[in-house]
Structure 1
Amino acid sequence: MASMRLVVRNLRHYISIAITLFKSLFWCISDNFDYPILIKLADSFLSLYFIVFCDLRPITVDLDDGETTVHFWVSGHRKINRPNLVMLHGYGGNSKWQFVHQVSDLSKSFNLFIPDLVFFGRSHSRNADRTVEFQARSVVGGLKRLGCGGELAVYSISYGGFVAYRIAKIWPEMIGKLVIVSSGVGFTQQQKMTEVKKHGGDVSEILVPRNPRDLRMLVRVSMNTGIAYIDWVPDFILSQFIAVMYERNRQALVELAKNLLEREEEPEFFAISQKTLIVWGDKDKVFPLEHGRRLHRNLPNSSLEILKEIGHGVNIEAPTTLNNLITSFVLGVSLT
Structure 2
Amino acid sequence: MASMKLVVHILRRYISIAITLFYSLIWCLFDNFDYPILIKLADTFLSLYFLIFCDLRPVTVDLNDGETTLHFWISGHRKTNRPNLLMLHGYGGNSKWQFIHQVSDLSKSFNLFIPDLMFFGKSYSKNTDRSVEFQARSIVGGLKRLGCGEGDLSVYSISYGGFVAYRIAKIWPEMIEKLVIVSSGVGFTQQQKMTEMKKHGGDVSEILVPSNPRDLRLLVRVSMNTGIRFLDWVPDFILSQFIATNRQELVDLAKNLLEREEEPDFFAISQKTLIVWGDKDNVFPLEHGRRLQRNLPNSSLEVLKEIGHGVNIEAPTTLNNLIISFVLGAP
TM-score bracket, shorter-length normalisation: over 0.9
Q: Which residue of 1 aligns with 2:206?
A: 205
1:150-209 deviation line (CA, Å, top 9, x unaligned): 320100000000000000000000000000000000000110111011011110111110
Distance 2:4 2:34 in 1: 46
State the TM-score, normalizing by the size of structure 1. Answer: 0.96
Identity %: 86
One-letter code of the match for 2:84? N
Q: 1:128-207 alignment to 2 at 5 Å?
A: 128-151=128-151, 152-207=153-208
Task: Tell me the CA shift for residue 41 of structure 1.
Answer: 0.3
Task: Tell me the CA shift for residue 109 of structure 1.
Answer: 0.3
Q: Which residue of 1 aligns with 2:327?
A: 330
Consecutive unaligned residues in structure 1, runs of 5 or more: none
Distance 1:257 1:52 in 2: 34
SS in 2 for 1:78: coil
One-letter code of the match for 2:279? D
Does 1:319 pair with 2:307?
no
Query: CA, structure 1 residues 267+80, in 2 after alignment: closer, same or farther (shift >3 Å)?
Result: same
Query: Displaced runs of 4+ in structure 1, greater than 2 A?
Result: 31-35, 267-271
Consecutive unaligned residues in structure 2, runs of 5 or more: none
Q: Which residue of 2 aligns with 1:9?
A: 9
Q: Which residue of 1 aligns with 2:47?
A: 47
Distance 1:118 1:78 in 2: 25
Distance 1:150 1:39 in 2: 37
One-letter code of the match for 1:4? M
Distance 1:129 1:315 in 2: 29
Q: Which residue of 1 aligns with 2:106?
A: 106
Distance 2:67 2:106 in 1: 32
Distance 1:279 1:157 in 2: 9
Moved more, 266-275 or 156-165: 266-275
One-letter code of the match for 2:107? S
> RMSD of the TM alignment (CA)?
1.0
Distance 1:34 1:326 in 2: 39
Task: Tell me the CA shift for residue 272 of structure 1.
Answer: 0.9
Does 1:285 pair with 2:282?
yes
SS in 2 for 1:117: coil
Task: Tell me the CA shift for residue 110 of structure 1.
Answer: 0.3
Distance 1:9 1:203 in 2: 48
Task: Tell me the CA shift for residue 268 of structure 1.
Answer: 4.2
Equivalent pair of 1:132/1:260 in contact (CA under 8 Å): yes
Task: Tell me the CA shift for residue 135 of structure 1.
Answer: 0.2
Distance 2:16 2:321 in 1: 32
SS in 1 for 2:255: helix
Query: CA, structure 1 residues 19+219, in 2 after alignment: closer, same or farther (shift >3 Å)?
Result: same
Q: How many residues align?
A: 329
